[in-house]
Chains A and B, each alone.
Chain A
Amino acid sequence: MTTATPHVHPRQEVPSDDPRVQLDEAVGVFEPIPPYPPRTERESEFYTLGDGEMYINMGPQHPSTHGVLRIVLKLDGEQVVDLDPVLGYLHRGVEKLCENADYHHTIAYLDPLEYISSLFCEWPGVLAFEKLLDVEVPRRAEYIRVLSTELNRILSHSLFMGWMALDLGGLTPILWSFIERDEIAEMLAALTGQRLLFNYLRIGGVNGDLNHEFLSRLGDWMSRATHQIENNLGLLNQNEIFVRRMRGLGVLDKETAFRMAVTGPNLRASGVPLDFRRAHPYSVFTELEFDIPTRDEGDCLARYLVRIDEIKQSLRIIDQCLHNMPDGPIMAKLPRLLRPRPGRAYAAVEGPRGQYAAYVVSDGTDQPFRMRIHDPSFVHLQSVGVLMPGHLIADAMAVMASLDPIMGGVDK
């Protein structure tokens, strides 16, 4: 199918003596409706306009889509009737790149997938490799992994909080959440060397041990974290406008959630107490004590509140990790050149957005044969097609913000 009929695009036959004129004529007036005839049932259903409906293009550049996402909305006045998300603007071919890289190098490729929660993108890959290699990770490394990833979870959730408010019009909470994030980013920079794309987990352990600067920043922050977070939340949780806009909006009930393969806080806000740290424990989560915040309503407010409660649970976990940190090596002894046995492995972790997973097929060489990355934002973005119709445009943005998609993960 690669060498199928060599279809020459008609544009190539245009002579190119004055490039600007040629380009203008070629581009024409932009139409969000695709120029080709619709090829699938759904496409023809969407691209047929009813009476009084219009298309509006929330294009790849927009002040409020969470990255480069294009959504073609079919509107009836201000009400959204249907929508068609168009992806691929941030597609970087990570899976193909991983096939040509060593096992160690793939970790750096996995980071920028969901750049906000990059440790969670590395973790399933690393776990899958460890399964293929039958490597046992030392306990200290496991505790450090849990510690750093819980910090990453707080990073991600505070950004969610700020972003949610920004999409509703409040300018202040996002800047306050960036103050939170900055402190944690500095902490993690002291530990991993990086503020955003950490590249910290390694096959068999972590990259560097806890150092004095990290621990002092962490201790300092932990002593005021709860109070600071409460302050930041006071602006939003008791704000009548904020609550009224989010309550009852975009209700995702249990059956729909399972049908749409939703995981993570979105699922827990719909009444299902499914958390892979408890349901399918990995790492040292069997030894840690934490609750799983669940709410029943399934609306935007519930999703928001579940994430806020998760921040508090993360603080508990970090506390326990610090108190119970064992001594020992931080990385298992592994050869430089890794050649796992041929086989397949699947690993999943519970990240701030849902289930991050990796399915690795190895063929015995030093490069993965197939590295499949499963990413929660990709799956959750399908739900906007189910949740948005019937609401107004303003609500549409709120619904999308509450599902917390990160386009890096959606587009891989």
Chain B
Amino acid sequence: MDAALKRRLQDRFGAQLIAPIQQRHDETEIRIGAGDVPDVCRALHDEPAFGFILLADLAGVDTGDVMQVVYHLWSETTTDWLRVVADGLSREDPRVPSITFLWKGAEWMEREAYDMFGIAFEGNRDLRRIYMPPDYQSFPLRKDFFLPDDAARSPGAGVRHMEQSHAPTNARAATMIRKSRA
């Protein structure tokens, strides 16, 4: 709970925040739009007042209504973790500028977010699937993911009867997907 950090963030990024800064326990959370990500992250990284040099985590979240990309940053200047939520990505075509220009180590984390959610990181030189086979058709961690059809289209399906998936022909996506009120 670093009130000084909250003030500094409000002063610097007030225009780009799309929700009030929330603080709980030892985390400070700011929400910005997808397009503001490179500027905000560069400012947080470069400016000595903030100095968030360590990227702790990069995660994708599918809230059922929208998608989010959540960055966790650490700095020596504050005792809190900073959570930057790039909110408001559409579920049909989620796009976020990549932060690999700042942290090359984010490359694989962005690949994982792409693989699991389909979020396209513009500027990532290597945006391909990392866990799933390269020609897998769907994105597993999305809330509307269902299994049977996808395995059939992967190279893992063999030619013998037992190695193929025989999904029911009327298998359909889940009609009610789980949403988060968070």
Contact = CB atoms under 8 A, between A and B. Distances in A.
Interface string A23-45: 10010000000101001111100
Given A36-B135, A131-B25, A345-B25, A87 B155 contact: no
Interface string A399-412: 00000000000011
Contact of A87 (B131, B138, B153, B157): B131
B66 interface: no
Interface string A272-283: 001000011000
Contact of B108 (A7, A41, A355, A378): A378
B34 interface: no
Nearest to B83: A346
Nearest to A260: B105
Interface stretch (B3-11, B13-21, B35-43, B51-59): B51-59
Contacts of B57: 346, 357, 359, 372, 374
Nearest to B132: A88
A318 to B, nearest CB: 26
A41 B153 contact: no
B133 A88 contact: yes
B131 A363 contact: no
A374 B70 CA distance: 12
Determine chain A's interface SS by DSSP, over half rule: mixed
A62 interface: no
Given A11-B157, A348-B81, A359-B70, A260 B103 contact: yes
A361 interface: yes
B179 A363 contact: yes
A316 interface: no
A335 interface: no
Interface string B107-139: 111001000101000000111111111110111
A364 interface: yes
A41 B104 CA distance: 15
Nearest to B102: A259
A283 to B, nearest CB: 13
A394 interface: no
Nearest to A90: B131
Contacts of B59: 359, 370, 372, 374
A14 B159 contact: yes
Q: Which residue, of A43, A370, A381, has the highest number of chain B Cβ atoms within 10 A? A: A370
Nearest to A1: B118
Contacts of B130: 87-88
Contacts of A369: 63, 178, 180, 182
Nearest to B60: A372
A42 B24 contact: no
Contacts of A382: 104-105, 107-108
B109 A19 contact: no
A338 to B, nearest CB: 16
Contacts of A274: 54
A42 B81 contact: no
A344 B179 CA distance: 14
A377 B40 CA distance: 27
A249 interface: no
A239 interface: no
Contacts of A23: 158-160
Interface of B: 24-27, 29, 53-57, 59, 61-63, 70, 72, 74, 76, 79, 81, 83, 92, 102-109, 112, 116, 118, 125-135, 137-142, 144-146, 149-150, 152-155, 157-161, 164, 173, 178-182
7 contacts: A11-B155, A22-B159, A41-B126, A260-B105, A274-B54, A363-B181, A372-B70
Interface of A: 1-4, 6-9, 11-12, 14, 16, 19, 22-23, 26, 34, 36, 39-43, 87-88, 91, 93, 95-96, 131, 258-263, 274, 279-280, 342-346, 348, 355, 357, 359, 361-364, 369-370, 372, 374, 378-379, 381-383, 386, 411-412
Given A36-B135, A344-B83, A379-B105, 16 more contacts: A1-B139, A7-B153, A9-B152, A23-B160, A34-B134, A43-B128, A91-B132, A259-B105, A260-B103, A348-B56, A372-B70, A374-B72, A378-B109, A378-B112, A379-B109, A386-B104
For the complex of A and B, list the 10 residue pairs with the smallest distance between their C-beta atoms, beginning with the closest: A261-B105, A42-B126, A260-B105, A363-B180, A372-B59, A88-B131, A374-B57, A91-B131, A2-B138, A19-B160
